[in-house]
Amino acid sequence: MTELVLYQVTDGIAELTLNRPDKRNAITSAMYESLGHHLREAELDAEVRVLLLQGGGGTFTAGNDLRDFLDDPPSGPDTPVARFLHALATARKPLIAAVDGWVVGIGVTLLLHCDLVVAGEGALFQTPFVDLGLVPEAASSLLLPRMVGHHKAAEILLLGERFTAADALAWGLVNRVVGTSELRTVALGWATSLAAKPPGALQLTKDLLRSPRHQVVDRIAEETEMFTRQLASPEAIGAFEAFFDRSR
């Protein structure tokens, strides 16, 4: 069976790759389980100095699998997505993301937990939570306004319109925009440079930059409660069904 999340460690760099290109790397419950598992594994592996998150097939991710939202919605605080978000929000090793193509929903909100982000010039970003009858997750309701200010965060989360890599750069959501052919080179360049630095100092510096983490963990719990309730609402179910009915 095809592995939908690939994990490979080379020269201190753990690469995590979403590998479901036919579904634009939409993330299923099983994929969250695997992502969370590998994040924890990388944290415990002394050989790993830095992590690189990316998507295969020219796209980062179309966000949460909407079929899963209909058929097997996450419920309660201890689910694969909750375990993944906790591992992401408490990661002490540096996280780099290289994104291209579609960067939707959790594809955007997980970037707020990454330390360095490079985007391909054609990348398109969107957080359509409200249009799907949902609320923001991954502590984006806390981290995004901190990063871009309230009005820009409201524009991104309430209007939910698509925005370009150039917009993401201008708003401070990514560090650099490059041609698609350079994406991996830039990400691996950063990863190689970080992997060569003293790991203790790196982790302490990240701890300081990310402090206080309990606020982030608490906000994830608060959002998860609302998100789970909204998943069962008629407005959300109607929006998911409309997505799958669109080409009929």
Asked if 24 is part of the footprint of ligand COA (rule: CB under 6 A), the reply reads yes
Q: Give least dist CB 23 to ligand COA, A.
A: 4
Determine, following the binding rule CB under 6 A, whether residue 102 of this chain makes contact with ligand COA.
yes
Backbone angles phi, psi at 54, to 5 degrees: -155, 170
If the CB atoms of residues 135 and 174 are measured against ligand COA, the closer one turns out to be 135
88 scored as a contact of ligand COA (CB under 6 A): no
Contact range with ligand COA by CB under 6 A, out of 61-69, 178-186, 213-221, 228-236: 61-69
**Range in contact with ligand COA (rule: CB under 6 A) among 49-57, 98-106, 214-222, 223-231:** 98-106
User: Which C-beta is closer to ligand COA: that of 12 or that of 105?
Assistant: 105
**Interface with ligand COA, residue 67, by CB under 6 A:** yes
Q: According to the binding rule CB under 6 A, does residue 120 interact with ligand COA? A: no
Contact, 33 vs 85, CB < 8 A? no
Query: Can you tell me which residue has the tokens 């669109």?
Result: 246
Which residue from 55, 17, 12, 54 is spatially nearest to 34, judged by alpha carbons?
17
- Nearest-approach distance from CB 75 to ligand COA, in angstroms: 17
Question: Can residue 103 be called a binding residue for ligand COA (CB under 6 A)?
Answer: no
Per CB under 6 A, does 12 bind ligand COA?
no
What's the min distance (Å) between Cβ of 55 and ligand COA? 11
Q: Is residue 128 close enough to count as binding ligand COA by CB under 6 A?
A: yes
Binder among 5, 52, 111, 132 for ligand COA (CB under 6 A): 132
The minimum distance between CB 124 and ligand COA, in angstroms, equals 8
138: left (phi over 0), alpha (psi -120 to 50) or beta: left
Cβ–Cβ < 8 Å for 18, 60: yes
Contact residues: ligand COA, CB under 6 A: 23-24, 26, 62-67, 102, 104-105, 128-129, 132, 243
